[in-house]
Structure 1
Amino acid sequence: MPITIVTQGKDLSPWVKALKKNRPDVEIRIYPDDAQAEEVEFALAWNHPLGVFKAFPNLKCISSMGAGVDHILKDTELPKGVTVTKIVDTNLTQDMGEFILALALNHIRGLAAYKVQEQQQAWQPRPYKRIADVTVGVMGVGELGAHVASQLHKVGFNVCGWARTAKELEGVAVYVGEEELNSFLAASEILVCLLPLTKETANILNKGTLQQLPKGAFVINAARGEHVVDEDLVEMINNGHLAGASLDVFREEPLPQEHVFWKHPDINITPHMASKTDPETAVLQILDNYDRLQRGEPLQNIISLEKGY
């Protein structure tokens, strides 16, 4: 049984190398160079051409090449009965925790502002906050979010979380559902968005929700660009309700040169690099699911097509 990789704009050489290193006997195909589509039961995907999977009549599993699956689920023509899986990688999780911690510390110590002052040769000490005096709200406490919340708590931040269903996290107060969203937001001096992208969470960071944050709050988005209504975020920063934002993800990537985010003094931009899937470790669980599929055993890290995560 071959493995077909279906993607757009991604360097596949590390993936092919890692797959062949660990399983030299498995045939690796790169779409569209897979003439015998009826042989394909297992596919790896990232940002695939929409509708392409209907060409594989015997496809049983689509494995995301990362932790996110929204790029797969937005395809309205997925074959019926296909199973979609994601990557759960300790390196990916650890990298995200370190990234969010760095951004939170950067904010409370005003390091981005000092960089601007450095360029202006302005010697101007600024007030700062201490970790123990700041509450960070983590929006979405799944695999990544729970780790981030735990790491922030360990270094001394006050941490709360928000989830669709009840979660137990040591040292973290978790607010649940729509009825507790505003209370969660009101407690979040730094808001970290790590939600999966679904119909329910798209555009969730809009003027209505951002207004519920405390005055002077700071927003960090490392989930998906579609969670944020761009113009509402800019408005809430410009009117002084929000102190600023650090954004790693955007509705269009790369971020267009003319976008207002680029030159906004209170918005920090990184090019979707909070955490990257390491093919060397990811292919191990991909191949495990490949073997499970061949043996007719339950797959690991299956996502719900209804929930979107």
Structure 2
Amino acid sequence: MTANILFAAKPDRWTIYEAPLRRALDAAGVTYDLRTGFAPEEVDYIVYAPNSDVQDFTPYTRLKAVLNLWAGVENITGNQTLTVPLARMVDHGLTQGMVEWVTGHALRHHLGMDADILGQDGTWRKHIPPLASERGVTVLGLGELGRACAETLASLGFDVTGWARSPKDIPGIRCLHGDSALADAMARAEILVLLLPDTPATENTLNARTLAQLPRGACIINPGRGPLIDDDALLAALDAGQVGHATLDVFRTEPLPADHPYWAHPNVTVTPHIASETRPETASQVIAENVRRGEAGEPFLHLVNRDLGY
């Protein structure tokens, strides 16, 4: 039986994804028809970007699953017309990209590289960083991306603490959970990595109170979600020296407005949402596997808990 797969994303994405998706679906042994247009009642699966024109799922009466192209699902979980399974993107290419970006910036701050890169004025300044085992790193969020980053940092010798809202058990990582343990996790964070999902429960996780719980001069790395940070509170903590540096890849408004204070702050590094991108080749393999599973009557991978929002 042929699976009708609707590709619902911006037109430029079709150009990028069509060939990798066809290769992956062929390799998975799926019999399919893949297009950017079907009559809604003919669609079995939607390969989906939340910024696409498809926002009302009511006409898709035959729909079996929506397969998200993005790791983030906060812009779709509240859609009351979506009643079929929703799978988020968990892609090993995306994960590896995130691990590399987080590790690079964690090492940058740990080793004090900015002093060497930016301070070359003819003065011989010798600074010896501590060993990684003497540096506390906390990762807030222990999902697929947070766990991978925490494990990699621990493999380099860092003293890694992970925090999540629910209990986790990761060998080699000190795992804390729940609101009552957040202060302990913050207190251990000479380098803090934010990889929580964007939900009502996580908005402004970094605020005046929690920022004050960090060791003075701590560095913050946020490749997770912009709303995790109260921007005014972070700017105040940076000005006061409570936070030594913030490397930020995600923001409440993107692109970050040209007049935003982050651009001009000497202790802020802005990167343009590049920490981790979905890779068409590897993402297509994830999507094809879920279509195969749906056609075979097997459980879908990476389903979203609509109550939790991720």
What TM-score does the superposition give when structure 1 sets the normalisation length? 0.90
AA paired with 2:80?
Answer: E
CA RMSD of aligned residues (A): 2.0
State the alpha-carbon separation in 2 of the partners of residues 50 and 35 from structure 1. Answer: 12
Deviation at 1:70, TM superposition (A): 1.8
Deviations 1:252-283 (A, max 9, x none): 11111111111111111111111222211221
Matched, 1:5 2:11: no
Query: Alpha-carbon deviation of 1:16?
Result: 0.9
CA distance in 2 between partners of 1:65 and 1:10 (Å): 14
Matched, 1:60 2:61: no
Q: Distance in 2 between matches of 1:211 and 1:223?
A: 21
AA of the residue aligned to 1:7: A
Deviation at 1:140, TM superposition (A): 0.7
Find the residue that maps to 1:290 and give its secondary structure: helix
Map of 2:100 onto structure 1: 98
The 3 A distance-change label for structure 1 pair 50 and 107 is farther
Partner in structure 2 of residue 116 of structure 1: 118
CA drift at 1:154: 0.8
Letter in 2 for 1:54: T
Aligned to 2:177: 176
Return the offset for 1:113. Answer: 4.2
Quote the residue 2:234 is aligned against: 233
In the TM superposition, residue 95 of structure 1 has moved relative to its aligned partner by 2.0
1:218 match: 219
Aligned partner of 2:297 in structure 1 is: 296
Query: Could you tell me which amino acid in structure 2 is paired with residue 41 of structure 1?
Result: D
Decide whether the 8 Å contact of 2:220 with 2:245 is kept in 1: yes
Structure 1, unaligned stretches of length 5 or more?
A: none
Q: Which runs of 5+ in 2 are unaligned?
A: none
Q: 1:184 to 1:286 in 2, by over 3 A?
A: same
**Partner residue of 1:167?**
168
Does the 8 A contact of 1:45 with 1:72 survive in 2? Answer: no
Query: Which is worse superposed, 277-286 or 259-268?
Result: 277-286
Larger relative CO (CA 8 A, sep 6+): 1 or 2? 2
Quote how far apart the aligned CAs of 1:55 are.
4.0
Range with bigger deviation, 18-27 or 199-208:
18-27
| Secondary structure in 1 matching 2:257 | coil
Residue identity over aligned pairs, in percent, reads 35
Match of 2:189 in 1: 188
Deviations 1:52-75 (A, max 9, x none): 3334233331111132222322x4
Q: Is the 8 A contact 2:44 2:65 kept in 1?
A: yes
1:289 and 1:300 in contact (8 A); partners too = yes
Output aligned runs, 1:128-207, within 5 Å: 128-130=128-130, 131-207=132-208
Distance (Å, rounded) in 1 between the aligned partners of 2:289 and 2:264: 46
